[in-house]
Amino acid sequence: MSNKVELVCPAGSLPALRQAVDNGADTVYMGFRDGTNARNFPGLNFDERAARQGIEYAHSRGSKVLLALNTYPQPHNWPIWTAAVDKAAEIGVDALILADTGLMRYAAKTHPDLRLHLSVQGSATSADAIAFYREQFNIQRVVLPRVLSLSQVKRVINETDVEVEVFAFGSLCVMVEGRCYLSSYVTGESPNTCGACSPAKSVRWEETPQGRNVHLGEVLIDRYGENESAGYPVICKGRFWVNGKLDYAIEEPTSLSVLDILPQLIEAGVSAIKVEGRQRSPAYVGQVTKVLRQALDAAEANPAGYTPLSEWVAQLDKVAEGSTHTLGALERQWQ
């Protein structure tokens, strides 16, 4: 793959894929319409026919396609995951994004020419961990979890010859990806095996005189007032009574945005920046892709003179959770 920093954008549907490609994505990533991917929501993802159409559309316009098989198969359904690997190789994806070591072993042995990326769900945060995946499964790229500071990202890049991809925009996760059990505690289904944090069948909305209540399973996780924006309900971003105060007890809704530090990421040697959001609308994908394409091009053309345009910030904040953005762990001082 090219040494130029890739812009990797989400495709939860064929219209979203087209929006990403048409607005400047170098690469799109998608998933099959089942529990093999970590955005297994009704109405999202690709069957074989749509996947082939998406790959043809992207390739004909110079964009690559990655397929996320980033959940963890269980003994009783292992053949579903291996069949997904085989299908991905057959339809011509450019790389697989994997988290499970057994599935990596299968892919590496069965399709040795198929490029493999280590998913953020694999939670590899050190050069030694990444080296293990490279030595055992020939992983070519790692997607770093959103818990590392910028200095830690630089250290990982300096200590590994594996390509490094970091998140550039989208929802944050309070946990190290791949290790969250909050949703499964309430619903009985793990996002890491079923592919959905807050599965739709467990979500229930209720109109009351006090406001619009949203439940996950039997747990009331938020109440929205009239005209208050209501996001998709997840435990970590719910509001709860703690010590007599009602507030976001675990994490306040906000989105990661790396607009301010694009030159530093480029200088550090990242291979790709990634947009979160296969569950988002095609309009969201198109808007975010367009802004980041312009910003990345500007940062690469003139890193010393780069300054994020106010219109870029405003456009991204419109689609950010809580209409705000943060650098998250990237600006932390921990080592």
Dihedrals phi, psi of 127, to nearest 5 degrees: -60, -35
What confidence tens digit (pLDDT) does each residue in 235-269 have? 888 899 899 998 888 888 888 999 999 999 999 99
The pLDDT assigned to 335 comes to 56
- What's the average model confidence in pLDDT over 14-21? 98
The pLDDT assigned to 2 comes to 44
DSSP calls for 29-75: EE-BSSTTSS---TT-SB-HHHHHHHHHHHHHTT-EEEEEE-S---G
What mean pLDDT, rounded, does the chain reach? 92
- What's the average model confidence in pLDDT over 288-293? 98
Residue 76 is given by DSSP the state G
Q: How confident is the model at residue 176 (pLDDT cuts 50, 70, 90)?
A: low
Name residue 46's beta-bridge partners: 32
Residue 85 has pLDDT above 50, yes or no: yes
What confidence tens digit (pLDDT) does each residue in 96-146 have? 999 999 999 999 999 999 999 999 999 999 999 999 999 999 999 999 999
Q: Give CATH superfamily name and number for 6-172+254-331.
A: Aldolase class I (3.20.20.70)
Can you tell me the distance from the alpha carbon of 195 to that of 202, in angstroms, rounded to the nearest whole number? 14
Q: Which of 274, 258, 261, 270 is nearest to 154 (CA)?
A: 270
Q: Which of 19, 293, 13 is nearest to 169 (CA)?
A: 293
- What are the structural domain ranges in the chain? 6-172+254-331, 182-248
What confidence tens digit (pLDDT) does each residue in 51-62 have? 999 999 999 999
- What's the average model confidence in pLDDT over 24-30? 98
The pLDDT assigned to 142 comes to 98
Residue 35 has pLDDT above 50, yes or no: yes
Q: How confident is the model at residue 280 (pLDDT cuts 50, 70, 90)?
A: very high
Residue 91 is given by DSSP the state H
Q: How confident is the model at residue 3 (pLDDT cuts 50, 70, 90)?
A: low
Pure H helices in the chain: 14-22, 48-60, 78-91, 101-110, 127-137, 150-158, 182-187, 191-194, 262-268, 282-301, 310-319
Q: How confident is the model at residue 175 (pLDDT cuts 50, 70, 90)?
A: low
Q: How confident is the model at residue 295 (pLDDT cuts 50, 70, 90)?
A: very high
Which of 230-244, 286-300, 320-334 shows the highest mean pLDDT?
A: 286-300
Q: Report helix, strand and coil shares of the chain as percent, to nearest 5.
A: 40, 20, 40
The pLDDT assigned to 131 comes to 98
The enclosing H or E element of 255 equals strand 255-257
Can you tell me the distance from the alpha carbon of 332 to that of 103, in angstroms, rounded to the nearest whole number? 34
The pLDDT assigned to 167 comes to 96
Q: How confident is the model at residue 1 (pLDDT cuts 50, 70, 90)?
A: very low
| Matching residue, tokens 């991917």 | 37
- Identity of residue 139: I
Name residue 204's beta-bridge partners: 215
